[in-house]
Structure 1
Amino acid sequence: MAAPLSAPPPRSAPLRDPLTKTLELTGARCVLSRGLTAAGDWALAFPAPGRLSVHVVLQGAVWLLMQGVDHPVRLEAGDVTVFAGDRRYTLASDPAVPPIDALPLLRATTDTFLRVEGEGRETVVIGGHIDLNTTGKDLLLSVLPPLIHAGATTDEATAACWLMNRTLRETRSDAPGAAFAAQHLAQLLLVQVLRIFLTRVNAETPPTGWLRALADDRIAPALRLMHGNPALPWSLAELARAAAMSRTSFTLRFKEVVGVPPLTYLRAWRMRLARHTLWLEDTPVSALASSLGYSSESAFSNAFKRATGLAPRRYREAVRAS
Protein backbone atom coordinates (compact mmCIF):
# COMPACT_ATOMS: atom_id res chain seq x y z
CA MET A 1 0.00 0.00 0.00
CA ALA A 2 1.27 3.46 -0.84
CA ALA A 3 2.61 5.56 2.01
CA PRO A 4 1.36 9.12 2.53
CA LEU A 5 3.25 11.87 0.76
CA SER A 6 3.14 14.16 3.78
CA ALA A 7 2.39 13.83 7.47
CA PRO A 8 -1.09 12.36 7.83
CA PRO A 9 -3.75 13.82 10.10
CA PRO A 10 -3.65 12.41 13.63
CA ARG A 11 -5.48 9.13 14.08
CA SER A 12 -7.47 10.71 16.90
CA ALA A 13 -8.94 13.36 14.56
CA PRO A 14 -12.75 13.45 14.48
CA LEU A 15 -14.14 11.17 11.78
CA ARG A 16 -16.92 12.17 9.43
CA ASP A 17 -20.03 10.06 9.26
CA PRO A 18 -19.32 7.61 6.37
CA LEU A 19 -22.84 8.06 5.05
CA THR A 20 -22.38 11.83 4.76
CA LYS A 21 -19.37 11.60 2.48
CA THR A 22 -20.94 8.84 0.44
CA LEU A 23 -24.07 10.91 -0.16
CA GLU A 24 -21.91 13.74 -1.46
CA LEU A 25 -20.62 11.39 -4.16
CA THR A 26 -24.01 10.22 -5.43
CA GLY A 27 -25.25 13.39 -7.18
CA ALA A 28 -28.78 12.58 -5.96
CA ARG A 29 -31.57 14.39 -7.80
CA CYS A 30 -35.26 13.67 -7.27
CA VAL A 31 -37.58 13.45 -10.28
CA LEU A 32 -41.21 13.05 -9.23
CA SER A 33 -43.28 10.77 -11.40
CA ARG A 34 -46.99 11.42 -11.61
CA GLY A 35 -49.25 10.37 -8.79
CA LEU A 36 -52.13 7.94 -8.88
CA THR A 37 -55.70 8.24 -7.59
CA ALA A 38 -57.82 5.13 -7.98
CA ALA A 39 -61.07 3.63 -6.69
CA GLY A 40 -63.05 0.45 -7.29
CA ASP A 41 -61.42 -2.73 -8.62
CA TRP A 42 -58.21 -1.95 -10.47
CA ALA A 43 -54.64 -3.14 -11.09
CA LEU A 44 -51.90 -1.39 -13.05
CA ALA A 45 -48.69 -3.08 -14.23
CA PHE A 46 -45.56 -0.93 -14.45
CA PRO A 47 -42.22 -1.70 -16.14
CA ALA A 48 -38.98 -1.76 -14.18
CA PRO A 49 -38.17 1.90 -13.40
CA GLY A 50 -34.45 1.51 -14.06
CA ARG A 51 -33.78 3.98 -11.24
CA LEU A 52 -34.05 4.11 -7.47
CA SER A 53 -37.76 4.68 -6.83
CA VAL A 54 -39.78 5.80 -3.82
CA HIS A 55 -43.54 5.45 -3.43
CA VAL A 56 -45.68 6.96 -0.66
CA VAL A 57 -49.32 6.10 0.05
CA LEU A 58 -51.07 9.35 0.98
CA GLN A 59 -54.59 7.97 1.32
CA GLY A 60 -56.34 4.62 1.37
CA ALA A 61 -54.55 1.31 0.85
CA VAL A 62 -52.97 -0.54 -2.06
CA TRP A 63 -51.39 -3.90 -2.79
CA LEU A 64 -47.90 -4.09 -4.27
CA LEU A 65 -46.83 -7.11 -6.31
CA MET A 66 -43.21 -7.21 -7.48
CA GLN A 67 -41.34 -9.53 -9.79
CA GLY A 68 -39.20 -11.87 -7.69
CA VAL A 69 -40.99 -11.05 -4.41
CA ASP A 70 -42.99 -14.08 -3.27
CA HIS A 71 -45.94 -12.42 -1.55
CA PRO A 72 -48.04 -9.31 -2.24
CA VAL A 73 -47.37 -6.43 0.17
CA ARG A 74 -50.28 -4.40 1.55
CA LEU A 75 -49.49 -0.70 1.89
CA GLU A 76 -51.50 1.61 4.13
CA ALA A 77 -51.67 5.41 4.25
CA GLY A 78 -48.29 6.75 5.35
CA ASP A 79 -46.33 3.68 4.25
CA VAL A 80 -43.21 4.13 2.14
CA THR A 81 -41.62 1.68 -0.29
CA VAL A 82 -38.23 1.88 -1.96
CA PHE A 83 -37.42 -0.07 -5.15
CA ALA A 84 -33.91 -0.69 -6.39
CA GLY A 85 -35.46 -0.23 -9.84
CA ASP A 86 -34.66 -3.45 -11.70
CA ARG A 87 -38.01 -5.28 -11.26
CA ARG A 88 -41.45 -4.97 -12.83
CA TYR A 89 -44.24 -4.28 -10.36
CA THR A 90 -48.02 -3.93 -10.07
CA LEU A 91 -50.17 -1.70 -7.89
CA ALA A 92 -53.68 -3.02 -7.28
CA SER A 93 -56.80 -2.70 -5.19
CA ASP A 94 -56.69 -6.49 -4.78
CA PRO A 95 -54.00 -9.02 -5.77
CA ALA A 96 -56.65 -11.07 -7.59
CA VAL A 97 -57.55 -8.30 -10.08
CA PRO A 98 -55.93 -8.93 -13.52
CA PRO A 99 -53.57 -6.00 -14.23
CA ILE A 100 -53.57 -3.79 -17.30
CA ASP A 101 -50.55 -2.03 -18.75
CA ALA A 102 -50.10 1.38 -17.10
CA LEU A 103 -47.91 2.94 -19.81
CA PRO A 104 -50.67 3.67 -22.38
CA LEU A 105 -52.72 5.35 -19.66
CA LEU A 106 -49.76 7.45 -18.56
CA ARG A 107 -49.00 8.49 -22.14
CA ALA A 108 -52.61 9.46 -22.77
CA THR A 109 -52.62 12.30 -20.23
CA THR A 110 -50.23 14.93 -18.92
CA ASP A 111 -52.17 15.49 -15.70
CA THR A 112 -50.20 15.40 -12.48
CA PHE A 113 -52.29 12.44 -11.29
CA LEU A 114 -53.36 9.41 -13.28
CA ARG A 115 -57.00 8.73 -12.37
CA VAL A 116 -58.73 5.37 -12.29
CA GLU A 117 -62.43 5.93 -11.78
CA GLY A 118 -64.54 3.59 -9.66
CA GLU A 119 -66.81 3.34 -6.68
CA GLY A 120 -65.70 3.07 -3.09
CA ARG A 121 -62.72 4.26 -1.11
CA GLU A 122 -60.13 6.24 -3.08
CA THR A 123 -56.42 5.48 -2.89
CA VAL A 124 -53.81 8.19 -3.53
CA VAL A 125 -50.16 7.32 -4.20
CA ILE A 126 -47.27 9.53 -5.25
CA GLY A 127 -43.97 8.24 -6.57
CA GLY A 128 -40.60 9.57 -7.50
CA HIS A 129 -37.24 8.52 -8.89
CA ILE A 130 -33.91 9.42 -7.35
CA ASP A 131 -31.44 9.96 -10.17
CA LEU A 132 -27.84 9.13 -9.31
CA ASN A 133 -24.57 9.78 -11.07
CA THR A 134 -22.36 6.87 -12.12
CA THR A 135 -20.66 6.73 -8.73
CA GLY A 136 -24.01 6.85 -6.96
CA LYS A 137 -25.35 3.92 -8.97
CA ASP A 138 -22.20 1.94 -8.27
CA LEU A 139 -22.41 2.68 -4.54
CA LEU A 140 -26.14 2.20 -3.98
CA LEU A 141 -28.00 0.12 -6.55
CA SER A 142 -25.80 -2.93 -6.07
CA VAL A 143 -26.22 -2.98 -2.28
CA LEU A 144 -29.94 -2.28 -1.84
CA PRO A 145 -32.47 -5.12 -1.78
CA PRO A 146 -35.18 -5.14 -4.50
CA LEU A 147 -37.83 -3.84 -2.09
CA ILE A 148 -37.79 -1.97 1.22
CA HIS A 149 -41.05 -1.30 3.06
CA ALA A 150 -41.36 1.15 5.97
CA GLY A 151 -44.62 1.32 7.91
CA ALA A 152 -46.35 4.63 8.60
CA THR A 153 -45.50 4.53 12.30
CA THR A 154 -41.73 4.68 11.73
CA ASP A 155 -39.85 7.97 11.97
CA GLU A 156 -38.20 7.36 8.61
CA ALA A 157 -41.53 6.89 6.82
CA THR A 158 -43.00 10.01 8.41
CA ALA A 159 -40.02 12.07 7.26
CA ALA A 160 -40.07 10.54 3.76
CA CYS A 161 -43.79 11.31 3.37
CA TRP A 162 -43.23 14.94 4.30
CA LEU A 163 -40.26 15.23 1.95
CA MET A 164 -42.17 13.71 -0.97
CA ASN A 165 -45.05 16.11 -0.42
CA ARG A 166 -42.70 19.08 -0.13
CA THR A 167 -40.72 18.07 -3.20
CA LEU A 168 -43.93 17.69 -5.20
CA ARG A 169 -44.90 21.24 -4.27
CA GLU A 170 -41.47 22.67 -5.13
CA THR A 171 -41.23 20.93 -8.50
CA ARG A 172 -44.67 22.27 -9.46
CA SER A 173 -43.92 25.77 -8.12
CA ASP A 174 -42.72 28.98 -9.75
CA ALA A 175 -41.57 30.32 -6.38
CA PRO A 176 -38.04 31.77 -6.17
CA GLY A 177 -35.49 29.07 -5.39
CA ALA A 178 -37.89 26.19 -6.11
CA ALA A 179 -35.37 24.22 -8.18
CA PHE A 180 -32.68 24.66 -5.52
CA ALA A 181 -35.10 23.54 -2.80
CA ALA A 182 -36.19 20.49 -4.79
CA GLN A 183 -32.58 19.43 -5.34
CA HIS A 184 -31.76 19.53 -1.64
CA LEU A 185 -35.03 17.89 -0.66
CA ALA A 186 -34.01 15.00 -2.93
CA GLN A 187 -30.79 14.59 -0.98
CA LEU A 188 -32.73 14.57 2.29
CA LEU A 189 -35.12 12.01 0.80
CA LEU A 190 -32.18 9.79 -0.10
CA VAL A 191 -30.93 10.06 3.51
CA GLN A 192 -34.30 8.79 4.72
CA VAL A 193 -34.27 5.98 2.15
CA LEU A 194 -30.89 4.79 3.40
CA ARG A 195 -31.95 5.13 7.02
CA ILE A 196 -34.97 2.97 6.26
CA PHE A 197 -32.59 0.37 4.88
CA LEU A 198 -30.21 0.56 7.83
CA THR A 199 -33.01 0.07 10.36
CA ARG A 200 -34.09 -3.09 8.54
CA VAL A 201 -30.79 -4.83 7.91
CA ASN A 202 -31.32 -7.27 10.76
CA ALA A 203 -34.88 -8.07 9.66
CA GLU A 204 -33.96 -8.82 6.05
CA THR A 205 -31.06 -10.41 4.23
CA PRO A 206 -29.51 -7.61 2.18
CA PRO A 207 -26.81 -7.95 -0.43
CA THR A 208 -23.22 -7.59 0.65
CA GLY A 209 -21.69 -4.11 0.49
CA TRP A 210 -20.57 -1.04 2.38
CA LEU A 211 -24.13 -0.07 3.35
CA ARG A 212 -24.68 -3.37 5.11
CA ALA A 213 -21.33 -2.85 6.85
CA LEU A 214 -22.56 0.44 8.34
CA ALA A 215 -25.26 -1.52 10.15
CA ASP A 216 -22.80 -4.14 11.40
CA ASP A 217 -21.62 -3.18 14.89
CA ARG A 218 -18.33 -5.04 14.48
CA ILE A 219 -17.38 -3.81 11.01
CA ALA A 220 -18.71 -0.23 11.16
CA PRO A 221 -15.85 1.18 13.31
CA ALA A 222 -13.26 0.06 10.76
CA LEU A 223 -15.35 1.44 7.92
CA ARG A 224 -15.55 4.80 9.68
CA LEU A 225 -11.75 4.89 9.89
CA MET A 226 -11.32 4.22 6.17
CA HIS A 227 -14.00 6.69 5.10
CA GLY A 228 -13.01 9.33 7.63
CA ASN A 229 -9.27 9.43 6.88
CA PRO A 230 -8.61 7.69 3.56
CA ALA A 231 -5.12 9.19 3.31
CA LEU A 232 -3.84 7.24 6.30
CA PRO A 233 -1.89 4.03 5.58
CA TRP A 234 -4.34 1.85 7.48
CA SER A 235 -2.97 -1.59 8.26
CA LEU A 236 -5.04 -4.70 8.66
CA ALA A 237 -3.97 -4.87 12.31
CA GLU A 238 -5.25 -1.33 13.01
CA LEU A 239 -8.59 -1.97 11.33
CA ALA A 240 -9.01 -5.28 13.16
CA ARG A 241 -8.20 -3.55 16.45
CA ALA A 242 -10.92 -0.97 15.81
CA ALA A 243 -13.34 -3.86 15.29
CA ALA A 244 -12.08 -5.59 18.46
CA MET A 245 -11.31 -8.73 16.46
CA SER A 246 -8.30 -10.75 15.42
CA ARG A 247 -6.96 -10.00 11.95
CA THR A 248 -8.18 -13.34 10.62
CA SER A 249 -11.67 -13.04 12.10
CA PHE A 250 -11.96 -9.43 10.99
CA THR A 251 -10.89 -10.21 7.43
CA LEU A 252 -13.35 -13.08 7.15
CA ARG A 253 -16.24 -11.08 8.59
CA PHE A 254 -15.45 -7.99 6.50
CA LYS A 255 -15.39 -10.06 3.30
CA GLU A 256 -18.64 -11.79 4.26
CA VAL A 257 -20.41 -8.47 4.93
CA VAL A 258 -18.84 -6.18 2.32
CA GLY A 259 -17.94 -8.69 -0.38
CA VAL A 260 -14.21 -7.90 -0.65
CA PRO A 261 -11.22 -7.91 1.78
CA PRO A 262 -10.64 -4.74 3.87
CA LEU A 263 -7.61 -3.35 2.06
CA THR A 264 -9.18 -4.06 -1.33
CA TYR A 265 -12.18 -2.04 -0.21
CA LEU A 266 -9.91 0.79 0.98
CA ARG A 267 -8.20 1.00 -2.42
CA ALA A 268 -11.58 1.01 -4.19
CA TRP A 269 -12.87 3.77 -1.89
CA ARG A 270 -9.85 5.92 -2.68
CA MET A 271 -10.46 5.45 -6.39
CA ARG A 272 -14.12 6.49 -6.01
CA LEU A 273 -13.00 9.66 -4.24
CA ALA A 274 -10.42 10.26 -6.97
CA ARG A 275 -12.94 9.90 -9.81
CA HIS A 276 -15.37 12.26 -8.07
CA THR A 277 -12.68 14.90 -7.46
CA LEU A 278 -11.33 14.72 -11.01
CA TRP A 279 -14.83 15.15 -12.39
CA LEU A 280 -15.96 18.09 -10.26
CA GLU A 281 -12.84 19.88 -9.08
CA ASP A 282 -9.64 21.32 -10.56
CA THR A 283 -7.44 19.89 -7.81
CA PRO A 284 -3.94 19.20 -9.20
CA VAL A 285 -3.22 15.51 -9.60
CA SER A 286 -0.24 15.78 -7.24
CA ALA A 287 -2.44 17.25 -4.48
CA LEU A 288 -5.09 14.62 -5.08
CA ALA A 289 -2.47 11.88 -4.80
CA SER A 290 -1.33 13.27 -1.46
CA SER A 291 -4.87 13.59 -0.11
CA LEU A 292 -5.49 9.90 -0.85
CA GLY A 293 -2.30 8.63 0.75
CA TYR A 294 -0.05 7.99 -2.25
CA SER A 295 3.69 8.61 -1.96
CA SER A 296 3.94 10.29 -5.36
CA GLU A 297 1.88 11.47 -8.29
CA SER A 298 3.23 8.63 -10.41
CA ALA A 299 2.24 6.00 -7.84
CA PHE A 300 -1.29 7.40 -7.76
CA SER A 301 -1.46 7.70 -11.56
CA ASN A 302 -0.42 4.07 -12.00
CA ALA A 303 -3.01 2.89 -9.45
CA PHE A 304 -5.72 5.03 -11.04
CA LYS A 305 -4.95 3.77 -14.53
CA ARG A 306 -5.10 0.15 -13.31
CA ALA A 307 -8.54 0.86 -11.82
CA THR A 308 -10.09 2.88 -14.66
CA GLY A 309 -8.00 2.27 -17.77
CA LEU A 310 -7.13 5.96 -18.05
CA ALA A 311 -4.50 8.22 -16.53
CA PRO A 312 -6.00 10.85 -14.14
CA ARG A 313 -5.68 13.79 -16.53
CA ARG A 314 -7.13 11.81 -19.43
CA TYR A 315 -9.98 10.68 -17.22
CA ARG A 316 -10.74 14.26 -16.21
CA GLU A 317 -10.82 15.36 -19.86
CA ALA A 318 -12.98 12.43 -20.91
CA VAL A 319 -15.56 12.64 -18.14
CA ARG A 320 -15.97 16.40 -18.50
CA ALA A 321 -16.31 16.13 -22.26
CA SER A 322 -19.09 13.58 -21.89
Structure 2
Amino acid sequence: MVFYHDKTLDVIYRDTSQMRVLNLAEAGLPEVPVIACTRFDHYVVPYALHRHPDCFEIGLCLRGALTLVSQGVENRILPGDLLVNKPDDEHSLKTIPAGTKYYWMMFRDPESCETFLHLPPGVAHDLHARLNALPSRITADTARVKQAFADLFIHYDRPPGPYRTFCLTGACIHVLMALIDCVPRTIVPVHVKGVEPIIASMRAHPEKDYPLDELARSARLSPSLFTARFKQNTGLPPSHFLIACRLEEAKRRLTSTDMPLTRIALDLGFCAPQHFSTSFKRAFGLTPRAWRAQNRAKPGSGG
Protein backbone atom coordinates (compact mmCIF):
# COMPACT_ATOMS: atom_id res chain seq x y z
CA MET A 1 0.00 0.00 0.00
CA VAL A 2 1.42 3.38 -1.07
CA PHE A 3 1.12 6.28 1.38
CA TYR A 4 1.23 9.84 0.10
CA HIS A 5 1.75 12.88 2.33
CA ASP A 6 0.16 16.12 1.08
CA LYS A 7 2.25 18.70 2.94
CA THR A 8 -0.03 21.60 2.01
CA LEU A 9 -3.05 20.03 3.70
CA ASP A 10 -0.92 17.95 6.12
CA VAL A 11 -2.87 14.84 5.14
CA ILE A 12 -1.48 11.35 4.59
CA TYR A 13 -3.51 9.51 1.96
CA ARG A 14 -3.93 5.76 2.36
CA ASP A 15 -6.49 3.04 1.73
CA THR A 16 -6.31 0.24 4.31
CA SER A 17 -8.81 -1.77 6.34
CA GLN A 18 -8.42 0.71 9.23
CA MET A 19 -7.95 3.99 7.39
CA ARG A 20 -9.44 5.15 4.13
CA VAL A 21 -8.11 8.64 3.43
CA LEU A 22 -8.88 9.36 -0.21
CA ASN A 23 -8.46 12.25 -2.65
CA LEU A 24 -11.45 12.89 -4.91
CA ALA A 25 -9.29 15.01 -7.23
CA GLU A 26 -8.27 11.70 -8.77
CA ALA A 27 -11.95 11.07 -9.54
CA GLY A 28 -12.51 14.47 -11.14
CA LEU A 29 -13.45 16.49 -8.04
CA PRO A 30 -10.45 18.70 -7.11
CA GLU A 31 -12.67 20.72 -4.75
CA VAL A 32 -12.87 17.69 -2.41
CA PRO A 33 -9.26 16.80 -1.46
CA VAL A 34 -10.24 14.39 1.35
CA ILE A 35 -12.95 11.90 2.22
CA ALA A 36 -12.02 9.56 5.04
CA CYS A 37 -13.22 6.79 7.31
CA THR A 38 -10.78 6.30 10.17
CA ARG A 39 -10.68 3.70 12.93
CA PHE A 40 -8.14 3.84 15.75
CA ASP A 41 -7.28 0.58 17.53
CA HIS A 42 -4.88 2.34 19.88
CA TYR A 43 -4.64 5.68 21.62
CA VAL A 44 -3.39 8.46 19.33
CA VAL A 45 -1.11 11.29 20.43
CA PRO A 46 -3.07 14.58 20.18
CA TYR A 47 -2.63 16.62 17.02
CA ALA A 48 -0.99 20.03 17.20
CA LEU A 49 -3.13 23.12 16.61
CA HIS A 50 -3.45 23.81 12.90
CA ARG A 51 -5.60 25.37 10.17
CA HIS A 52 -6.69 24.22 6.72
CA PRO A 53 -6.48 27.37 4.54
CA ASP A 54 -9.41 27.69 2.12
CA CYS A 55 -10.87 24.38 3.30
CA PHE A 56 -13.78 23.34 5.48
CA GLU A 57 -13.45 20.14 7.48
CA ILE A 58 -16.41 18.16 8.79
CA GLY A 59 -16.45 14.97 10.84
CA LEU A 60 -19.06 12.55 12.19
CA CYS A 61 -18.17 10.49 15.27
CA LEU A 62 -19.37 6.90 14.86
CA ARG A 63 -17.85 5.23 17.92
CA GLY A 64 -15.77 6.29 20.90
CA ALA A 65 -15.32 9.99 21.57
CA LEU A 66 -13.25 12.92 20.36
CA THR A 67 -12.20 16.10 22.11
CA LEU A 68 -12.08 18.99 19.64
CA VAL A 69 -10.34 22.23 20.54
CA SER A 70 -11.45 24.95 18.13
CA GLN A 71 -10.65 28.64 18.53
CA GLY A 72 -9.66 27.98 22.15
CA VAL A 73 -12.95 26.25 23.04
CA GLU A 74 -13.01 22.55 23.99
CA ASN A 75 -15.90 20.43 22.67
CA ARG A 76 -16.62 16.80 23.49
CA ILE A 77 -17.66 15.01 20.29
CA LEU A 78 -19.70 11.90 21.13
CA PRO A 79 -21.15 9.23 18.82
CA GLY A 80 -23.63 10.88 16.47
CA ASP A 81 -22.13 14.35 16.94
CA LEU A 82 -20.71 16.39 14.07
CA LEU A 83 -17.67 18.65 14.16
CA VAL A 84 -17.15 21.57 11.78
CA ASN A 85 -13.87 23.42 11.25
CA LYS A 86 -13.95 26.51 9.06
CA PRO A 87 -10.96 27.69 6.98
CA ASP A 88 -9.74 30.24 9.55
CA ASP A 89 -10.41 28.08 12.63
CA GLU A 90 -7.31 27.04 14.57
CA HIS A 91 -8.19 23.58 15.82
CA SER A 92 -6.92 20.25 17.06
CA LEU A 93 -8.23 16.85 18.10
CA LYS A 94 -7.00 16.76 21.69
CA THR A 95 -8.22 13.28 22.61
CA ILE A 96 -8.60 10.24 20.32
CA PRO A 97 -8.96 7.11 22.50
CA ALA A 98 -8.61 3.55 21.25
CA GLY A 99 -11.76 2.26 19.55
CA THR A 100 -12.70 5.62 18.07
CA LYS A 101 -14.16 5.58 14.56
CA TYR A 102 -15.32 8.53 12.52
CA TYR A 103 -16.05 9.82 9.04
CA TRP A 104 -14.47 13.07 7.95
CA MET A 105 -14.21 15.18 4.84
CA MET A 106 -12.34 18.26 3.63
CA PHE A 107 -13.60 20.44 0.80
CA ARG A 108 -12.60 23.78 -0.66
CA ASP A 109 -14.47 26.92 0.34
CA PRO A 110 -17.23 27.16 -2.30
CA GLU A 111 -16.41 30.85 -2.82
CA SER A 112 -12.70 30.24 -3.35
CA CYS A 113 -13.24 27.75 -6.20
CA GLU A 114 -13.70 28.68 -9.83
CA THR A 115 -16.47 26.07 -9.80
CA PHE A 116 -17.69 24.04 -6.83
CA LEU A 117 -19.31 20.68 -7.60
CA HIS A 118 -20.56 22.19 -10.87
CA LEU A 119 -22.96 24.48 -8.98
CA PRO A 120 -23.93 27.97 -10.26
CA PRO A 121 -22.01 30.86 -8.58
CA GLY A 122 -25.11 32.06 -6.71
CA VAL A 123 -25.67 28.63 -5.19
CA ALA A 124 -21.99 28.35 -4.20
CA HIS A 125 -22.19 31.77 -2.52
CA ASP A 126 -25.27 30.72 -0.52
CA LEU A 127 -23.58 27.45 0.46
CA HIS A 128 -20.52 29.40 1.66
CA ALA A 129 -22.75 31.55 3.91
CA ARG A 130 -24.63 28.56 5.34
CA LEU A 131 -21.44 26.64 6.10
CA ASN A 132 -19.90 29.62 7.86
CA ALA A 133 -22.99 29.90 10.07
CA LEU A 134 -22.56 26.37 11.45
CA PRO A 135 -21.32 25.84 15.02
CA SER A 136 -18.15 23.86 15.76
CA ARG A 137 -20.17 21.04 17.32
CA ILE A 138 -23.56 19.86 16.12
CA THR A 139 -25.69 17.55 18.26
CA ALA A 140 -28.71 16.39 16.30
CA ASP A 141 -30.28 13.49 14.46
CA THR A 142 -27.37 12.81 12.08
CA ALA A 143 -28.64 9.57 10.53
CA ARG A 144 -28.88 11.20 7.08
CA VAL A 145 -25.31 12.47 7.34
CA LYS A 146 -24.10 8.99 8.27
CA GLN A 147 -25.91 7.42 5.32
CA ALA A 148 -24.60 10.12 2.97
CA PHE A 149 -21.02 9.39 4.04
CA ALA A 150 -21.58 5.64 3.56
CA ASP A 151 -22.93 6.29 0.05
CA LEU A 152 -19.88 8.42 -0.73
CA PHE A 153 -17.56 5.46 -0.19
CA ILE A 154 -19.85 3.12 -2.15
CA HIS A 155 -19.61 5.45 -5.15
CA TYR A 156 -15.86 5.88 -4.72
CA ASP A 157 -15.47 2.11 -5.16
CA ARG A 158 -17.25 2.15 -8.53
CA PRO A 159 -15.18 1.55 -11.68
CA PRO A 160 -13.42 4.76 -12.86
CA GLY A 161 -15.25 6.80 -15.46
CA PRO A 162 -17.67 9.68 -16.03
CA TYR A 163 -20.56 7.96 -14.24
CA ARG A 164 -18.43 7.48 -11.12
CA THR A 165 -17.62 11.21 -11.14
CA PHE A 166 -21.32 11.99 -11.55
CA CYS A 167 -22.24 9.75 -8.60
CA LEU A 168 -19.50 11.20 -6.39
CA THR A 169 -20.60 14.74 -7.20
CA GLY A 170 -24.16 13.95 -6.15
CA ALA A 171 -22.95 12.14 -3.02
CA CYS A 172 -20.83 15.13 -1.93
CA ILE A 173 -23.80 17.45 -2.41
CA HIS A 174 -25.94 15.02 -0.39
CA VAL A 175 -23.43 15.10 2.51
CA LEU A 176 -23.54 18.91 2.58
CA MET A 177 -27.34 18.98 2.34
CA ALA A 178 -27.68 16.51 5.22
CA LEU A 179 -25.17 18.50 7.27
CA ILE A 180 -26.92 21.83 6.82
CA ASP A 181 -30.45 20.42 7.15
CA CYS A 182 -29.77 18.75 10.52
CA VAL A 183 -28.92 22.06 12.23
CA PRO A 184 -32.49 23.41 12.79
CA ARG A 185 -33.27 20.31 14.86
CA THR A 186 -30.34 21.25 17.07
CA ILE A 187 -31.56 24.81 17.56
CA VAL A 188 -35.26 24.11 18.10
CA PRO A 189 -35.66 20.47 19.14
CA VAL A 190 -39.09 19.04 19.85
CA HIS A 191 -40.13 18.97 23.53
CA VAL A 192 -36.92 20.77 24.46
CA LYS A 193 -38.56 22.41 27.49
CA GLY A 194 -39.05 19.03 29.12
CA VAL A 195 -35.60 17.66 28.30
CA GLU A 196 -33.22 20.62 28.69
CA PRO A 197 -33.57 20.98 32.49
CA ILE A 198 -32.84 17.27 32.88
CA ILE A 199 -29.72 17.55 30.72
CA ALA A 200 -28.58 20.54 32.79
CA SER A 201 -29.21 18.64 36.03
CA MET A 202 -27.21 15.63 34.86
CA ARG A 203 -24.31 17.87 33.92
CA ALA A 204 -24.42 19.73 37.23
CA HIS A 205 -24.96 16.67 39.45
CA PRO A 206 -23.63 13.58 37.65
CA GLU A 207 -23.16 11.78 40.96
CA LYS A 208 -26.93 11.31 41.33
CA ASP A 209 -28.98 8.42 39.97
CA TYR A 210 -31.46 9.19 37.19
CA PRO A 211 -33.93 6.29 36.66
CA LEU A 212 -35.42 6.44 33.17
CA ASP A 213 -39.02 6.17 34.38
CA GLU A 214 -38.59 9.17 36.68
CA LEU A 215 -36.92 11.24 33.96
CA ALA A 216 -39.70 10.46 31.49
CA ARG A 217 -42.36 11.28 34.07
CA SER A 218 -40.65 14.60 34.82
CA ALA A 219 -40.64 15.48 31.12
CA ARG A 220 -44.25 14.27 30.71
CA LEU A 221 -43.23 11.82 28.00
CA SER A 222 -43.28 8.06 27.62
CA PRO A 223 -39.89 6.41 28.32
CA SER A 224 -39.37 5.58 24.63
CA LEU A 225 -40.26 9.09 23.43
CA PHE A 226 -38.18 10.68 26.18
CA THR A 227 -35.17 8.59 25.17
CA ALA A 228 -35.64 9.60 21.52
CA ARG A 229 -35.88 13.32 22.38
CA PHE A 230 -32.96 13.07 24.78
CA LYS A 231 -30.79 11.42 22.14
CA GLN A 232 -31.85 14.06 19.63
CA ASN A 233 -30.52 16.75 21.96
CA THR A 234 -27.33 15.04 23.19
CA GLY A 235 -26.51 12.36 20.63
CA LEU A 236 -26.64 9.71 23.38
CA PRO A 237 -29.28 7.82 25.37
CA PRO A 238 -29.63 9.01 29.00
CA SER A 239 -27.50 6.25 30.57
CA HIS A 240 -24.57 6.83 28.21
CA PHE A 241 -24.83 10.60 28.57
CA LEU A 242 -24.72 10.26 32.36
CA ILE A 243 -21.51 8.22 32.14
CA ALA A 244 -19.98 10.89 29.90
CA CYS A 245 -20.93 13.57 32.46
CA ARG A 246 -19.45 11.50 35.28
CA LEU A 247 -16.19 11.09 33.39
CA GLU A 248 -15.99 14.84 32.72
CA GLU A 249 -16.53 15.52 36.44
CA ALA A 250 -13.89 12.89 37.24
CA LYS A 251 -11.41 14.81 35.08
CA ARG A 252 -12.14 17.96 37.05
CA ARG A 253 -11.70 16.23 40.42
CA LEU A 254 -8.51 14.48 39.33
CA THR A 255 -7.00 17.79 38.25
CA SER A 256 -8.21 20.10 41.02
CA THR A 257 -8.40 17.88 44.13
CA ASP A 258 -6.34 15.27 45.99
CA MET A 259 -9.28 12.89 46.37
CA PRO A 260 -8.28 9.20 46.19
CA LEU A 261 -9.24 7.46 42.95
CA THR A 262 -11.46 4.98 44.77
CA ARG A 263 -13.45 7.76 46.39
CA ILE A 264 -13.89 9.60 43.09
CA ALA A 265 -15.09 6.39 41.46
CA LEU A 266 -17.62 5.52 44.15
CA ASP A 267 -18.81 9.11 44.67
CA LEU A 268 -19.59 9.36 40.96
CA GLY A 269 -21.64 6.18 40.89
CA PHE A 270 -19.19 3.70 39.38
CA CYS A 271 -19.74 0.23 40.80
CA ALA A 272 -16.02 -0.39 41.31
CA PRO A 273 -12.70 1.45 40.84
CA GLN A 274 -11.76 -0.93 38.02
CA HIS A 275 -14.96 -0.07 36.14
CA PHE A 276 -14.14 3.62 36.56
CA SER A 277 -10.55 3.15 35.37
CA THR A 278 -11.60 1.14 32.32
CA SER A 279 -14.31 3.64 31.33
CA PHE A 280 -11.97 6.59 31.84
CA LYS A 281 -9.18 5.10 29.71
CA ARG A 282 -11.63 4.18 26.96
CA ALA A 283 -12.86 7.78 26.84
CA PHE A 284 -9.60 9.71 27.26
CA GLY A 285 -6.80 7.31 26.37
CA LEU A 286 -5.17 7.44 29.82
CA THR A 287 -5.88 5.82 33.18
CA PRO A 288 -7.18 8.20 35.88
CA ARG A 289 -3.82 8.00 37.66
CA ALA A 290 -1.88 8.85 34.48
CA TRP A 291 -4.32 11.67 33.67
CA ARG A 292 -3.81 13.20 37.11
CA ALA A 293 -0.02 12.95 36.86
CA GLN A 294 0.05 14.48 33.39
CA ASN A 295 -2.27 17.37 34.16
CA ARG A 296 -0.78 18.11 37.57
CA ALA A 297 2.64 18.46 35.90
CA LYS A 298 1.56 21.23 33.54
CA PRO A 299 1.33 24.22 35.95
CA GLY A 300 4.91 23.70 37.18
CA SER A 301 6.53 23.02 33.82
CA GLY A 302 9.19 25.42 32.64
CA GLY A 303 10.33 26.39 36.13
TM-score range normalised by the length of the shorter chain: 0.3 to 0.5
| TM-score (ref. length: structure 2) | 0.39
From the CA coordinates, give the structure whose radius of gyration is larger: 1
